């Protein structure tokens, strides 16, 4: 398929490389052009603007930091909405707000283009290994056309709704759960460590018995090993997701007391000089600090 991929950060690099490897005709664009070099060496074409990336393709994937980045790429000067052909698809894989997904669905529909939300679960290693879980929502016939491409990017696609923004709501709810696990696991580890238990042995017990889910293994390993750099998922992005889940919850009048707590944890982490460079699991250092360790 003739595709474009916009946003070659930690996640986008691996995803775009997998599309090239699978034999798709891929044009790439990244704000900082140097990040496109490796993909061009693998056979991708380079676009100088998002508008150029959108020209003549069947689908354009976007994998950008946040709402502001995606708005700039779609609606800004040289934005892709101006060149994407009627009937072409925009697949938004970034973790963005429900409100922006609604705006994109409407704007693309007005331009005669198709819009699908397809945020993902999985960190950069999963993106590179094509092991992402894709949460898709949009018109069923559009998702059916995209399924072979999703199969190149991930291990499974979950189709949840015909309304694209619902996939974003689900993705945000998932990150709220991950953040809650990081927080509760950090508090429990602070407790047993102060009581004289080896954190690594404690984690081994947890993840071999009642807490065998990947999220406990992955984040438990990062917390116990204090491996917060290089950040696989940077703290400012985690803070962004907490902010977005709280915004979605406010719109629906749903209280999320744990998300409010996480909001303060991220503010405290990002108030520290190097906080923005750390993985979001570094909020665990705050539970440890509070326990006087």
- So which residues are the catalytic ones? 171
CB of 27 to ligand NAP, least distance (A): 15
Give exposure, 164-189, as e/b (b: 16+ Cβ within 10 Å).
bbbbbbbbbebbbebbebbbebbebb
Is residue 95 close enough to count as binding ligand NAP by CB under 6 A?
yes
Residues from 98 through 137 that contact ligand NAP (CB under 6 A): 120, 123-124
Q: Decide the pairing of beta strands 25-29 and 59-62.
A: unpaired
> Residue 123 burial (CB < 10 Å; 0-12/13-18/19+)?
middle
Point out the residue whose Cβ comes nearest to ligand NAP. Answer: 9
Residues from 57 through 76 that contact ligand NAP (CB under 6 A): 63-66, 68-69, 72-73
* Upstream peptide bond of 256 is cis (omega within 30 degrees of 0): no
Smaller CB separation from ligand NAP, 156 or 194: 156
CB of 127 to ligand NAP, least distance (A): 7
By CB under 6 A, how many residues form the interface with ligand NAP?
26
Q: Which of 3, 5, 7, 235 binds ligand NAP (CB under 6 A)?
A: 7
CB of 238 to ligand NAP, least distance (A): 8
CA nearest neighbour of 265 among 165, 180, 170: 180
CB of 69 to ligand NAP, least distance (A): 3
| Cβ atoms 49, 78 nearer than 8 A | yes
Is residue 281 close enough to count as binding ligand NAP by CB under 6 A?
no
Q: Which of 18, 49, 94, 117 binds ligand NAP (CB under 6 A)?
A: 94
Q: Which helix (H) or strand (E) holds 205?
A: helix 199-208
Is residue 12 close enough to count as binding ligand NAP by CB under 6 A?
yes
Residues from 166 through 185 that contact ligand NAP (CB under 6 A): none
Is residue 278 close enough to count as binding ligand NAP by CB under 6 A?
no
Q: Which of 3, 8, 98, 137 binds ligand NAP (CB under 6 A)?
A: 8
E strand segments, the chain: 2-6, 25-29, 45-46, 59-62, 89-92, 114-117, 120-121, 132-137, 154-161
Distances (CA, A) of 101 to 61, 92, 106, 253: 14, 8, 9, 19
CB of 236 to ligand NAP, least distance (A): 8
Binding mask 21-40 for ligand NAP (x = CB under 6 A): ---------xxx--x-----
Distances (CA, A) of 140 to 26, 88, 115, 145, 163: 24, 15, 11, 9, 10
Q: How far apart are CA 243 and CA 177, in angstroms?
A: 14
Binding site for ligand NAP (CB under 6 A): 7-12, 30-32, 35, 63-66, 68-69, 72-73, 94-95, 120, 123-124, 232-233, 237
């Amino acid at each position: 398929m003739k595709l474009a991929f916009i946003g070659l950060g930690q996640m986008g690099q691996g995803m775009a490389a997998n599309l090239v490897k699978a034999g798709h005709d891929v044009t790439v664009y990244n704000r900082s052009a140097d990040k496109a070099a490796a993909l061009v060496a693998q056979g991708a074409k380079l676009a100088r603007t998002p508008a150029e990336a959108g020209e003549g393709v069947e689908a354009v994937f976007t994998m950008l930091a946040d709402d502001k980045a995606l708005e700039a790429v779609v609606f800004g000067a040289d934005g892709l909405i101006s060149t994407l052909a009627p009937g072409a698809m925009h697949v938004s894989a970034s973790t963005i707000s429900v409100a922006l997904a609604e705006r994109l669905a409407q704007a693309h529909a007005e331009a005669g283009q198709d819009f699908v939300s397809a945020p993902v679960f999985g960190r950069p290693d999963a993106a590179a290994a094509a092991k992402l879980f894709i949460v898709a929502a949009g018109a069923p016939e559009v998702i059916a056309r995209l399924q072979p491409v999703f199969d190149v990017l991930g291990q499974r696609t979950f189709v949840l709704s015909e309304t694209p923004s619902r996939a974003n709501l689900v993705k945000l709810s998932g990150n709220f759960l991950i953040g809650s696990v990081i927080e509760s696991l950090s508090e429990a580890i602070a407790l047993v460590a102060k009581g004289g238990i080896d954190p690594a042995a404690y984690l081994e017990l947890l993840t071999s018995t009642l807490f065998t889910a990947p999220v406990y293994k992955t984040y438990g390993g990062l917390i116990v090993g204090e491996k917060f750099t290089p950040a696989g998922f940077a703290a400012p992005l985690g803070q962004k997701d907490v902010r977005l889940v709280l915004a979605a919850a406010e719109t629906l009048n749903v209280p999320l007391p744990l998300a409010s707590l996480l909001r303060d944890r991220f503010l405290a982490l990002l108030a520290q000089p190097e906080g923005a460079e750390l993985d979001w699991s570094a909020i665990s250092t705050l539970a440890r600090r509070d326990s006087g360790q």
